[in-house]
Amino acid sequence: MDYAAALEKRFGLKNVSYKYNLSKEQLFEEAIANDRGRVRAGGPDDEQKAFPTKLGVKGPLVYYTDPTCTGRPVQDTFGVAWPEIDDKVWWKKDYQKFDPAKYEGLLKRVVEHLNQRGGSLYVKDVFCGWDASYAVPYRFVGEYATHAMFAHNMFPKDVKGVENAEEKRWTMLNVPSFRCDPDRDGTKSERAVIMDFKNQIGLVVGRADYCGVVKKTMFTVMNYLLPEAGEMSMHCSANVGKDGDCAILFGLSGTGKTTLSADPERKLIGDDEHAWTRAGVSNYEDGCYAKLIDLSKEAEPVIAAALSMPGTIIENVPALPGKRMEELDPQELDLTDGSITENTRFSYPLDCNPNVMDGAKGPHPETIVLLTADAFGVLPPVSLLEGKDVMYHFVSGFTAKLAGTEVGITEPQAAFSACFGAPFMSQKPPVYARLLAEKMDQHKARCILLNTGWSGGPYGTGKRISIKHTRALLDAALAGQLDEGKVEYEQHPVFNLKVPKSCPGVPSEILDPRSTWADKAAYDEQAGKLRDMFRKNFEEKGFAKLGIEPVM
């Protein structure tokens, strides 16, 4: 069945035409000519949303979202609560239940809206996942050429050997021009991002035109599907060393996940979304979606070079004052300009990085890294985790956000995100924790908790652990130099963590965080506070009832 007949059968789309699998060059021109919507607060709904730079089609496309959607609309993200999946899904404030009857009515109205409007929809067929054993065919169908181009950038195009492809296919229907009525449609606002696991549909309607929705919707889907097949779905980066040793790095924003995985001595599998299956580790994606705000071109040369490459997409970076975007070279853009949003973004193909694993795949990992950036200044720089410790720290997903810029706010803020990606985890946290523990045990993988945060005091008093020392700690762990029996360990009295007494290339005194504080009593008090935050989070999330053992 061809795509048009399939879309008519699935949705009832009849009075529309399609622009199917256009090249990136064609989508570039289509986006500039046809993508229209709101780009300014209070502005009209027919303004140009996509622009060329001075380089034209030989450079990036610059795209602007609706001003109310410069990031994922988490409060408007839902799953259809079909009875057959209701008990399995991890419902929470950023992934809420949607009534099945309301959903069916809404979907019907969206299709009627499209049939009445007529016009063209962009269709792009890609896959989510590089490994044919689990890869899901993903069909993007939407009103914006920019989104189709983003799908092309971010997902594999030609995965051979996927069996029963049509049965597995997910379809996203992305319709920014439709406005929801909360009273009628059961939404919380005029927009919604809804996942229908029974019918394999992603419905995106209203002012939800942030490009990341096209990516993270499918990540949430994969986080449901993979555990159903007994495989691990992960929000992590992954790379492979010269000896073929694979490592995966879990971590929230600001902990160093992307920076530490981009190691010139190791080949990148990917920086964000992966599966760990019977075959090893593989990337879901064929692209990267990097933050641009305050990007250092010296520290991130790959991203800096890709800014000028054809077929890439820059999101929500303003033109220079008094200049039109068409007059600017991409390298002239002010990447410190957060006037539209602090969440400026850049989508580029994985092959922009010259040091990537063939097929974005690697072997079973030998090392699992849980990254945290402790701004309280009390966690050890590195700790060895085993068994129940791994599960506890994995479901905790701790990092610390820095104190804000408001007067009087001096304390860091603890952030806990289960499995280091709670909003996207569609099954309950222990499902992923048990899979991780089982796979680690099966493949004899080691696990470390690597703290890239502060030492000698909290943020504002202490100093950030140097990247040189962090890399030395990571390199030692990857080489097995911190394994049990290779170095002496001591048990941390507050956090109950196994802390090495020595590490090659790292002064031994920084390994014990208490010794770096001038005021030992202040350290003890701060450590106790953080321990209590862990305990409170564990209790509030009900992890004990879900089978996770407390370790501190």
Sheet holding 136-142, edge to edge: 17-20, 120-128, 136-142, 170-175, 201-205, 192-196, 77-80, 96-98
Give per-residue pLDDT as tens, 336-345. 999 999 999 9
CB contact set of 98 (below 8 Å; sequence gap of 6+): 78, 79, 80, 81, 186, 192, 194
What tens digit of pLDDT does each residue of 161-173 get?
A: 999 999 999 999 9
pLDDT digits (tens, 9 = 90+) for 373-419: 999 999 999 999 998 999 999 999 999 976 543 344 456 789 999 99
Contact 429, 396 (CB under 8 A): no
Domain boundaries along the sequence of the chain: 364-540
Cα angle, residue 187 at apex, residues 184 and 191 outer, rounded to 5°? 110
Predicted TM-score of the model (pTM): 0.94
State the average pLDDT over residues 66-71.
96
Judged on CB neighbours under 10 Å (0-12, 13-18, 19+), 184 is exposed
- What mean pLDDT is predicted for residues 151-165? 96
Task: Judge whether 534 and 418 are in contact, CB under 8 Å.
Answer: no
In the predicted model, is pLDDT for residue 438 greater than 70?
yes
Amino acid at 450: L
- Phi-psi domain of 12 (left: phi exceeds 0; alpha: psi -120 through 50; beta: other): left
- Shortest CA distance to 247 belongs to which of 233, 236, 256, 255? 236
Per residue in 345-360, pLDDT (tens digit) is: 999 999 888 899 999 9
Contact (CB, 8 A) for 193 and 213 = yes
The pLDDT tens digits of the residues spanning 297-321 come to 888 888 999 999 999 999 999 999 9
154, pLDDT greater than 70: yes
State the Cα–Cα distance between residues 418 and 423, nearest whole angstrom: 9
Take residue 45 and report the two structure tokens written for it. Answer: 């709904």
What is the mean predicted confidence (pLDDT) over 263-270? 92
Asked if 370 contacts 449 with a C-beta cutoff of 8 angstroms, the reply is yes
How confident is the model at residue 253, as a pLDDT? 81
DSSP string spanning 290-322? EE-TT--TTT-HHHHHHTTSTT-EEESPPPPTT
| pLDDT value for 404 | 44
- Could you identify the residue written with the tokens 């981009």? 262
CA distance 434 to 443: 14
Tokens 């790959």 locate to: 302
Q: Is the pLDDT of residue 121 over 50?
A: yes
Could you list the beta-strand ranges (E) of 477-517. 489-491, 498-500
User: How many residues are recorded in the chain?
Assistant: 552
Give the residue numbers annotated as catalytic, written as ranges. Answer: 72, 216, 235, 253, 257-258, 272, 345
Q: Does domain 364-540 have CATH number 3.30.70.260?
A: no
The structure tokens 């289509």 sit at 30
Question: DSSP letters along 200-249, please?
Answer: TEEEEESS---THHHHHHHHHHHHHHHHHTT-EEEEEEEEE-TTS-EEEE
